Amino acid sequence: SQIATIYAYEGELGGTTNATGSFTSTAITPQDGTSKSSLGLVLLYKDNAGTNALNTDIVAQVSADNGVNYTNCVLASRGTFSTGIKTAIAPAVDVTSGNQLKYKINFANQASGSKEAQVYGVSLQY
């Protein structure tokens, strides 16, 4: 099942057709406990309606200092994972060093029936 769907229903968000939202992981401490200075991720998502543009409609950010500072990732499409579910990867980016790792997925321009993103999985790479 998906982790999140962000879109607007008529009436729920004032009838907006440009809904935004986000979700943030809990902090992850590396097994070795050492500080990390670069992070990447793999994202599994579905265009439930319309087509979501990576880095515009779906934006991924990573942090190593428990979310005090986030750095934008550059998501790139890497094909289909399974029926309807797509894969995007973000190569490692430099972050403020730390050992409390987080990711944040931001959504923009979501509208019920015309553009709906669903996230099925996120893997933080460090």
Residue 17 has a pLDDT of 56
Name 83's Cβ contacts closer than 8 Å, sequence gap at least 6: none
What is the full DSSP assignment across the chain? --SEEE-PPTTTTTT-SSEEEEEEPPPB--TT---EEEEEEEEEEEEEES-PPBTTTEEEEEESBTTSS-EE---EEEEEEETTEEEEEEEEEEEEEESBBEEEEEEEEEBTTTBEEEEEEEEEE-
**Residue 117 φ then ψ, to 5°:** -95, 140
Residue 3 has a pLDDT of 52
| Predicted confidence (pLDDT) per residue in 4-63, tens digit | 444 433 333 334 456 888 999 999 999 998 999 999 999 999 999 999 999 999 999 999
**pTM attached to this predicted model:** 0.85
Dist CA 126 CA 124 (whole Å): 7
